[in-house]
Amino acid sequence: MKPSIGFIGLGLMGKPMSTNLLKAGYPLTVWNRTASRADELVAAGAKLAKSPREVAEHSDFLITIVSDPPALEEVLWGGADGGALAGLKAGATYMDSSTVSPELARKIAAACAKQQVRFIDAPVTGGDWGAKKGELVFMMGGDAEAIKDAEPILGVMGKKWFHLGPNGAGQTIKLAMNAILALEVEALAEAMALVTSAGLSGEKLVEVLQSSMGRSGLLDVKSQNLLKNDYTPSFPMRLMLKDLGLALDLAKQLGVILPATTAAHATYAHVKNAAKEDIDYSGVMKFWKK
C-alpha cells in the first residue's frame, strides 16, 4: 500500500507537486495558509486538514514547501496546536523542499531526531514549469537510507535527485546554485542594457550568445522575458532576493567574501523595492528601464 503523504504549502511550486502525487495515487492530506488554494486538490480527492499539525498526524511522509525561514518555523512550531512537528509519528519521514538556511535545516533535523522522525532537506530547482511536468531536481541532505526509501515519491515530482551530504547540505548547494542563476540573469540584463544603449538590438546579442560558449539553458529561457519585457513570475524576484540574502548570511558565517553576489543582491533589492507587483527575477532588467 502506498504511504499516506501530507503536503503543506500550495504555492506556485507546492500545488503542482502535490497534484502530481495525487494523480500518482498517493493518499494525500493538505494544508495551506490560504485555504482556498486547496480547492482544486480537494475536488480531485485530497483531504483538507485544519492545521499543519493535523496534516502531520495523518502522514507517513510529510512534505513542506513554503516561502522562507519564518514561514517554515511558523508551520513547524507555530499555531494554537503547536505546529506540524508535534504531530509527526515516530518512524515517519519529513522532507522540506522550501529554500531556507542550512542552519534551520540542521535545527529541524535535531528536533526530528528526538522524535525518531527521519528528516531530509530537499530544496528543488526547475521552477513552476518543472514542478508541473514532474521534472524537478532535488538537492538533498540527510540520511542515505531515508533518501533511498523516498525514491518512489521523488520520482513522481522530479527527474533527478542528488544526495549531497548530511542535513543542511541540500540547502547549501541550493543557495550556491541560486546565486549562480541570479548572477547569470543579472549579467545578461547588464549586457543588454549596454548594447541597446549603443543603439543595437537585444535580439542580436541573444542570437550571438546562443551560438557561443556563453549560452545556457537558463539564458535561452530568460532572454525571451527580457526581449519581450514580460516578467510574469516563474521564480518570483522576492524569493530570489531571499535566497541571495541567505547565501550572503551563510558566507558571513563561513568567513567567505562574495563580491558579485553582494552587488547582485543590491541590484535585485533595488528593483524589488520599486516593483508594484510580483515579478519574475528576470525583471532585474527593470534596473535599466525608466
Separation between Cα atoms, residue 218 and residue 220, nearest integer Å:
5
Distance of CA 176 to the CA centre of its chain: 13
Side chain identity at 237, as an amino acid letter? M
The stretch among 33-41, 85-93, 137-145, 252-260 that binds ligand NA7 (CB under 6 A) is: 33-41
Q: Which residues, 6+ apart, have CB-to-CB distance to 14 below 8 Å?
A: 7, 8, 32, 65, 66
37 binds ligand NA7 (CB under 6 A): yes
132 binds ligand NA7 (CB under 6 A): no
The phi-psi region of residue 287 (left if phi > 0; otherwise alpha if psi is between -120 and 50; otherwise beta) is: alpha
248 binds ligand NA7 (CB under 6 A): no
Q: How far is the CB of 213 from ligand NA7 (least distance, A)?
A: 30
67 binds ligand NA7 (CB under 6 A): yes
Task: Name the catalytic one among 107, 174, 272, 286.
Answer: 174
Separation between Cα atoms, residue 67 and residue 14, nearest integer Å:
10
The strand pair at 5-8 and 118-121 is best described as unpaired
Given candidates 1, 34, 254, 290, which one binds ligand NA7 under the rule CB under 6 A? 34
Q: How far is the CB of 232 from ligand NA7 (least distance, A)?
A: 13
Given candidates 56, 62, 63, 66, which one binds ligand NA7 under the rule CB under 6 A? 66
Beta strands in 145-247 (DSSP E): 158-165
For cell 550556491, the residue is: 176
95 binds ligand NA7 (CB under 6 A): no
Given candidates 3, 4, 33, 249, which one binds ligand NA7 under the rule CB under 6 A? 33
Separation between Cα atoms, residue 242 and residue 95, nearest integer Å:
21
Given candidates 20, 98, 171, 172, which one binds ligand NA7 under the rule CB under 6 A? 98
242 is catalytic: no
32 binds ligand NA7 (CB under 6 A): yes
- Between CA 246 and CA 258, with CA 252 as vertex, the angle to 5 degrees is 80
- Of all residues in the shown chain, the one whose CB is closest to ligand NA7 is 11
Q: 56 phi and psi, to 5 degrees?
A: -60, -40
Site string for ligand NA7, 191-230 (x = CB under 6 A): ----------------------------------------
Binding positions for ligand NA7, rule: CB under 6 A: 9-14, 32-34, 37, 65-68, 71, 74-75, 98-99, 239, 243
